[in-house]
Amino acid sequence: MNNPDDMKVLKEIYSEYGIVMEEEKPEEEVSLSVDDIKKILGDIQSDQDAIAYIYKYIKGRSRNTELQTVLDRANINEKTISGVNAPKAIFDILAHNDDLENFINYVKSTEHLNYTSLKKEGNLVDKLAATGISKKSIEELIGLGGFEGGRGVGKGEVALALLVDDLKMRDSSGDLDWNGNYVEVKGSGGRMGGRDNKVSESSKLIKRYRQANPPIESKRLHEIIPALLQQGTPKEELRKESEELINRLYPKGKGSSYITAGNLDNPKELRVAFQKAYFNNYINTEGVDHLMLINTSTAKLGKYINLPVSEVEAYIENHPTITSPITLEDSTPQISI
């Protein structure tokens, strides 16, 4: 109890429950002992919530060294999530839910989860429950997220790095490292790129759209192109303008290979074409090796797909609603799973 960090946390606990220290001194001069703690425990003898809170903290603190070993392996530190002390947040979740002992037992066991054991789809809450940790703790760990240095630390990343033996947080921009491979994790509402990316008005296709007579009501790109064809736009001109647009939106998305004279009148095929270019642009720009999409909303919490990037196009073909439609107002729509 002579550890300054421990005493600071205990002071925060006392403050939360209205307990006043006998003397308030500048933090650098405070030197507390176990006897100091004993003296004020009587003030909360009828407050079971406060007693339970302090008991869980002190009991769990003895396992902090073992927890820190795992945090080091997972490359989780105080800088992992901007504005959040990730190691402390993890400790608090496990301690508050009486899961520190379960966590240590999992760490000491020989039965560890690894990335390949997650397979291509499943529910992350159920998968991580194999560690022996309560689903409440797992759900709260999945919920940890924030931003660091301009990059998102998405929900699910910290939980995966902590509990899956061969995953860790990447040092550089990006999500998780699996034996040198970049695993990109996206939660509900995530995007393959930034938000608020409107389609440029300077492209030939959009200029033609603005001049359409009668006006085309839809703002969805996969519906605008067939509408322009129906109004009599020459097919080859429309193909070239559509190709120019998709390449402008997604320079590394291989868009030219998805726009053909044969699909200009097919909204479903065009939607898939734009989504493939959208995903591939991000994958190729960032150097992603594997893509993991997780439902982090309350409705289907934990549902995920987990694919090598070579299988992403096939998945999009079979699941064309993987994102909201790409529109004039939003060329980097939210992911939905």
- Do residues 335 and 189 make contact, with C-beta atoms less than 8 angstroms apart? yes
Place of tokens 């190691």: 87
Structure tokens at 37: 């703690």
Average pLDDT rounded to a whole number, residues 122-141: 96
CA distance 277 to 308: 16
Q: Which residues of 27-55 are buried (b: 16+ CB within 10 A; e: fewer)?
A: eeeeebeeebeeeeeeebeeeeebeebbe
The rounded percent of the chain whose pLDDT value lies above 90 is: 68
pLDDT tens per residue, range 128-137: 999 999 999 9
CA distance 199 to 210: 13
Average pLDDT rounded to a whole number, residues 318-330: 95
Alpha helices in the chain (DSSP H): 4-16, 34-41, 48-61, 64-73, 86-96, 100-108, 124-128, 135-142, 157-163, 204-210, 221-230, 235-249, 267-286, 312-318
pLDDT score of 39 more than 60: yes
pLDDT score of 149 more than 50: no
**pLDDT number for residue 148:** 40
**pLDDT number for residue 300:** 87
pLDDT score of 173 more than 70: no
pLDDT tens per residue, range 85-121: 999 999 999 999 999 999 999 999 999 999 999 999 9
pLDDT score of 27 more than 60: no
